[in-house]
Structure 1
Amino acid sequence: MTTYGTQTLAAAPAADRPVRPRLDLPQLVWALAATQFVSRAGSLVRSFLVLYLTQDRHFSLATAGAVVAAVGVGDVGSQLLGGWLGDRIGRRHTMLVGFSGTAVALVGLGAADTVPAICAAAFGVGLMSELHRPAASAAVADLPAPQRVRAFGLLFWAANLGFSVATVTAGNLAQTGYGPLFWINITAAITAALIVWRRVPETRPPTAEHTRRALLPVLLRDRPMIAMAGIHIVYFTLFLQTFTTLPLLMSTDGHGPATYGAVLALNGLTIVAAQPLAVRLLTGRDRTTVLAVSMLLVGAGVGLSTIVHGGAGYAGSVLVWTLGQIGVAVMFGATFADLAPADLRGGYMGVASTTFSIGAVFGPLTGAFLLDHAGPSTLGTAGVIIGLALFAGLLALGPTIRRRTSAQ
């Protein structure tokens, strides 16, 4: 008998049984997944920040918008800073700083009285709350390549499960006041920090200080990485605009918030149910091909949402782009991890995470502008064309990515 960790397998001659890579995940990944779930399940304040500012603090909508924008600016900086710190002080220390800093920033946000102080605290929340993400991604990128797809898939699934819990919890608690949202969010951040402190070891490869390279010069010479980052900025802009335009489209057709909530819930339920299966089906497949097909599905889903009118039709469009979302999420981290040099994994994963943050800024603006000034047909046509362009771009980039991966 041959034993691998907790699994016991019968030995067999090499000629009778092909050797397969070990794919069971180490405890590090499960600990990181626990931090993803806890932090997302307790991340209640950001979802209800506008309502808290306008209803509880009685600020104008413009002021509330400025505060939310401050969180978004901090979020973009958080991705880059988290990646840089992950390469400098280590993945573990960066996550500890991020989760601890989030708790402190939330206390400051709840206690701030003036608009400048609230904006500063909101920026701090954005800067700290996502600091852990590129560091955790770098820790997964430090694993052997065959484990990365499953590991990133588990983190994505845990985060979405936590998000599903957060949406239900926050909605119920907000009816009794916004104070509990802050304390639960703070407790979740501290709990995530404790998990990192007790269960997450440092994984950063040892690098001599005099040989450490700066990120920017390497990145500017890395054309495949720049191309992949640009593709993902366009993709996230396309994908994230759906959360702005879909409720507007449904409202125009006479559907109320309850119908929109039920349709959107389909997204979370599909991810929780189908994503583990998607990881099993897609592991070992060509990364760029999966990404190409997935982004094409998102474009098709956007186009479909502009030509349907009934609740079932909208649910179908959400299902289409959710399947594409799952495919991208399964391959996203592993693709950028394959591109990252060992000594700059934190920085590369920070740049990768920033593509989402940039899309989160441009997506709502672009989608709302097209829908308001050009109408649903133009929005849908643009979605399909962008999906096709992303599909073609990834297929063209595929050979370069495969050669790069093979060389590494």
Structure 2
Amino acid sequence: MARSFLVLYLTQERGLSPTTAGAVVAAVGVGDVGSQLLGGWLGDRIGRRHTMLVGFLGTAVALIALGSAETMPAIYAAAVGVGLMAELFRPAGSAAVADLPVRERVRAFGLLFWAANLGFTVSTVAAGVLVQYGYGILFWINASASVLAALIVWRRVPETRPSTPMATRRALLPVLLRDPLMLTMAAIHVVYFATFLQSFSTLPLVMASDGHGPGTYGAVLALNGIVIVVVQPIAIRLLDGRDRASVLAASMLLGGIGSGLGAVVHSGAGHAGAILVWTLGQIGVAVMFGATFADLAPADLRGRYMGVASTTWSLGAVLGPLLGTALLDHAGRTALWAACSATGLALFAAQQAVAPALRRRTAAAAYDVRPTDPATPTPA
């Protein structure tokens, strides 16, 4: 709730400029970056379950602090705290799903994404209604939901971390630096998420300039969640077994085209149509994202590899608001959305370029990675 409406809260209730609001949203992204890496490390060290508990309870505290902060230093500090705590769940939860048998990963990650968007749909619709009573209530409800999530993990989620002898544990960085495919895939996804996350930074500002209020923005975001809830289960069945590189390339192209449509639409229906296009791209990326990176991850570094994968979202959350709001401020909406469309085309080309290497690696998903050469598979 709170994060989707954060830029509107900062500009409308706090009176900040779009650029300053974008910097605060980027501060959340800075926390996200540390959170993904920390969450992956903790997931491998103290377990997936304990990491999720720390993250959810810490999120509740950080959200209340952000909604109560009065000064800019306090707002920035709380924003970093929200990012640092809220995203601990992502790499730990992804690692828990990646601990499943390989044949179940695409379906499992697809269902996890579907469940998240079911909650997202409910929250955006509810937030669009509740915001008329003040933005503060969104922070408190969001914090309460985080506590509830922690209770569910505490009572119902088992630990899945495979045991690894201390003598065989490896550091992440040496393996990662010798894994060019992982680094390239991560870079591609950073650019994709920076483009996609315009939906939470510049899109509400563009819609406000067209005369649409927070309720309309919430309804449009809810449409994104509704489409995902309806289409995602079908997409899982259709895309499971498909070539992952091709699905990712086409999906990223759709994301860029959908964002580019924002240059020519002004009505609520027009924005809804644009969102339908990039939502289809979002679904394709989401279905393949977790399973693809899980296949690239060595078993003993699974939590940390998934942390690096999740960091691509966080880096996008830093770059997207900063670049998007600055471009919107200085060059206007047409330049912003033209840049998004061009980025979609570039991502399509980049994903196609790495497709052969990705196919070779995912074909060997049942194998682990040698410490001396992460591109060479050995029996797990």
TM-score calculated relative to the size of structure 1: 0.79
Mapped pair 1:94 → 2:39: no
Q: Tell me the residue number matched to 1:300.
A: 257
Partner Cα distance (2:350, 2:3) in 1: 35
Partner Cα distance (1:322, 1:281) in 2: 16
Offset, 1:84 = 1.0
Q: Tell me the residue number matched to 1:21.
A: none
* Pairing partner for 1:318 from 275, 278, 285: 275
* Pairing partner for 1:256 from 212, 218, 225: 212
* Pairing partner for 2:306 from 335, 349, 368: 349
Partner Cα distance (2:331, 2:78) in 1: 38
CA displacement, residues 9-57 of structure 1 (integer Å, 9 cap, x when unaligned): xxxxxxxxxxxxxxxxxxxxxxxxxxxxxxxxxxx3444556767888x
Offset, 1:379 = 3.7
Offset, 1:227 = 0.4
Residues 121 and 223 of structure 2 are in contact (CA less than 8 Å); yes or no, is this contact kept in structure 1? Answer: no
Mapped pair 1:61 → 2:9: no
Partner Cα distance (2:12, 2:350) in 1: 46
Partner Cα distance (1:183, 1:249) in 2: 27
Partner Cα distance (1:119, 1:309) in 2: 32
Give, as a single letter, the amino acid of the residue that structure 2 aligns with 1:144. Answer: P
- The within-5 A match list for 1:133-282 is 133-177=90-134, 180-250=137-207, 254-257=210-213, 260-282=217-239
Residues 106 and 240 of structure 2 are in contact (CA less than 8 Å); yes or no, is this contact kept in structure 1? Answer: yes
What SS does the aligned partner of 1:213 have? Answer: coil
What SS does the aligned partner of 1:61 have? Answer: coil
Offset, 1:371 = 4.0
Q: Tell me the residue number matched to 1:40.
A: none
CA displacement, residues 310-350 of structure 1 (integer Å, 9 cap, x when unaligned): 55443322211111111011111111111011011111111
Give, as a single letter, the amino acid of the residue that structure 2 aligns with 1:299. Answer: G
Unmatched 5+ residue regions in structure 1?
Answer: 1-43
**Percent identity among equivalent residues?**
73
Bigger radius of gyration: 1
Q: Tell me the residue number matched to 2:378.
A: none
* Pairing partner for 1:103 from 37, 53, 60: 60
Give, as a single letter, the amino acid of the residue that structure 1 aligns with 2:182. Answer: M
Partner Cα distance (1:273, 1:105) in 2: 32
Partner Cα distance (1:369, 1:91) in 2: 38
CA root-mean-square deviation: 2.9
Query: Could you say if the C-alpha distance between residues 241 and 180 of structure 1 is closer, same or farther in structure 2, counting changes exceeding 3 Å?
Result: closer
Residues 241 and 366 of structure 1 are in contact (CA less than 8 Å); yes or no, is this contact kept in structure 2? Answer: no
Residues 249 and 306 of structure 1 are in contact (CA less than 8 Å); yes or no, is this contact kept in structure 2? Answer: no
Give, as a single letter, the amino acid of the residue that structure 2 aligns with 1:385. Answer: A
Query: Could you say if the C-alpha distance between residues 197 and 314 of structure 1 is closer, same or farther in structure 2, counting changes exceeding 3 Å?
Result: closer
Partner Cα distance (2:117, 2:289) in 1: 15
Residues 103 and 189 of structure 1 are in contact (CA less than 8 Å); yes or no, is this contact kept in structure 2? Answer: yes
Offset, 1:132 = 0.9
Partner Cα distance (2:7, 2:199) in 1: 20
Partner Cα distance (2:120, 2:106) in 1: 21
Residues 125 and 222 of structure 2 are in contact (CA less than 8 Å); yes or no, is this contact kept in structure 1? Answer: no
Residues 247 and 260 of structure 1 are in contact (CA less than 8 Å); yes or no, is this contact kept in structure 2? Answer: yes
Unmatched 5+ residue regions in structure 2?
Answer: 368-380
Q: Tell me the residue number matched to 2:246.
A: 289
Give, as a single letter, the amino acid of the residue that structure 2 aligns with 1:234. Answer: V
Give, as a single letter, the amino acid of the residue that structure 1 aligns with 2:303. Answer: G
Offset, 1:355 = 0.8
